[in-house]
Structure 1
Amino acid sequence: MLNIEGLERLDQHAPVVMLNLMRFHEHALDGDGSGWDAYLRYSAITVPMIRARGGTLLWTGEAKAVALGRHAGNQWDFVALVYYPTVTAFLDMMTSEAYETNADPHRVNGCAEHVIIATSEAYSKFKMS
């Protein structure tokens, strides 16, 4: 569930990088392939939506192992870092009818769990703004 209240407490005009942690269903809930297949359908729809709002996919990769910290409950399959020029741009996408109707069903069908953490820049080798 989208934490609109928490996001509204952030500076709405500040850039944000969303850390996405995903764990996939073995089989998509709609029966159309694997959870990964459903996530790929989700990505095909959301990446253009992100770009239309001035954002970009910074990095994606497979999560391999918990290197430090609690192991139980921290097994993730995939990680993505997504830049948005403003918190408002992220909220605009996530609450749009196009997202809710066309994209989110694929995410739900594919992901057993999907956590998105809003981050603000403390240091970056790649200065975004």
Structure 2
Amino acid sequence: MIDHLNEQALKGLPDDGPVTMLNLMRFRERSLDGNGSGWDAYLRYSALTIKLIKARDGTIIWTGNAEAVALGVPDQHRWDYVALVRYPSRAAFLDMMKSPEYAAANVERENGCADHAIIAVSETDRKFT
């Protein structure tokens, strides 16, 4: 079981189209298993999970380094890396997260990440001009 998976919150939302998951990660200096840095462990996790994402017709939209907190309290928002991953549905995301294959890959995520938040976001048709 994955700690802190808010399955009920996701199931309570409409699931009638794609969802993008905003991933915010802070890495450990050293991997918990002693096998390289936190970044190294995260790369091992990524190599395993990209297959799981693609198997559910998901895709990585964007990744990048978090450089600085431009607005907010820096100590409360310490992130090293950001990724946007699109899934065809919330159900597809939950299916991946609850799979035995993800549980195996999650060991590397836990080895590498001191903190990792995933926020479900949906596009809006609101226009700001």
Question: TM-score, length-normalised on structure 2?
Answer: 0.92
Q: 2:16 aligns with which of 7, 13, 17?
A: 13
How far apart, CA to CA, are the structure 1 residues paired with 2:15 and 2:95? 11
**Amino acid in structure 2 at the alignment position of 1:112:** A
Which of 109, 116, 119 aligns to 1:117? It is: 119
Q: Tell me the secondary structure at the aligned position of residue 72 of structure 1.
A: helix
Shift, 1:71, TM fit: 1.8
| SS of equivalent residue, structure 1 residue 113 | strand
Name the SS for the 1:64 alignment partner: coil
How do 1:1-129 and structure 2 match up within 5 A? 1-101=4-104, 103-123=105-125
- Give the 4+ runs in structure 1 shifted more than 3 A: none
Structural RMSD (CA):
1.3
CA distance in 1, matches of 2:48, 2:113: 16
- Whether contact under 8 Å (1:20, 1:117) holds in the other structure is yes
Could you tell me which runs of 5 or more consecutive residues in structure 2 were left unpaired when the two chains were aligned: none
Q: Distance in 2 between matches of 1:75 and 1:98?
A: 29
Q: TM-score, normalised by structure 1?
A: 0.92
Post-superposition Cα deviations, 1:17-62, rounded to whole Å, max 9, x if no partner, equal 0000000000000110000000000000001110110100000000
Q: Gapped runs of 5+ residues in structure 1?
A: 124-129
Distance 1:2 1:57 in 2: 20
SS at match of 2:75: coil
Mapped partners of 1:12, 1:104: distance in 2: 25
Identity %: 59
**Quick one: distance in 1 between partners of 2:30 and 2:76?**
20
Provide the C-alpha distance between the structure 2 equivalents of 1:12 and 1:97, rounded to a whole number of angstroms.
23
- Report the Cα offset of residue 12 of structure 1: 2.7
- Counterpart of 2:111, as a letter, is N
